[in-house]
Amino acid sequence: MNITDTAADNKFVIFNLAGQDYGLDIYNVEVIERVTSFTRVPNTKNYINGVINLRGEVVPVIDLLKRFNIESTNTLGDDSRIIITSVRDIFIGLLVDSSSEVLTLLEEDIDNTPKIGEQISDDFIKGIGKKDGRLIMLLDLEKVIGVDYRIEDM
């Protein structure tokens, strides 16, 4: 692996949710959008906020607060964003409180998941990044989205 690859591999899009920083592998992030109107989809998982019209495409949006079972009084504000991610050809938006920056985390800055208990089940987190004293939860997108590929592949 050459140097540029290493650098790109470790770039993360950082966003904030209920006061906590999270990171998404930049390869999974397509675009970040301002919040537009949702259309509720009935009879689906409770954490699915609805679908949005992304330039003519219908994209489902996951409310991460609900997904992570975080009790929060935060409502949609000016800083709220929808991060459009793609994993295995599925486009999905993640609703977050704000999105700030792209960080490069070196290999040694990333710890394996310890017991983090508290609110989020460890499954969603694939590592913890440390940068200037901040702790950044690096998300395992496939688990967050919750599509069981093992079944699909069969």
- The amino acid that residue 16 corresponds to is N
**Shortest separation between residue 152's beta carbon and another protein, angstroms:** 9
Binding another protein by CB under 8 A: which of 6, 53, 72, 119? 53
- Our finding on whether 121 is near another protein (CB under 8 A) is no
Which residues have CB under 8 Å from 31's CB, separation 6+? 84
Q: How is residue 115 written in tokens?
A: 């017991």
Residues near another protein (CB under 8 A), total: 22
Scanning 43-51, 78-86, 99-107, 134-142 for contacts with another protein by CB under 8 A, the matching segment is: 43-51
- Supply the DSSP string of 68-122, one letter for each residue: TT--------TT-EEEEEEETTEEEEEEESEEEEEEE--GGGEEPP----SSS-G
- Our finding on whether 114 is near another protein (CB under 8 A) is no
**Interface residues with another protein (CB under 8 A)?**
37, 39-44, 48, 51-53, 56-60, 89-92, 145, 147
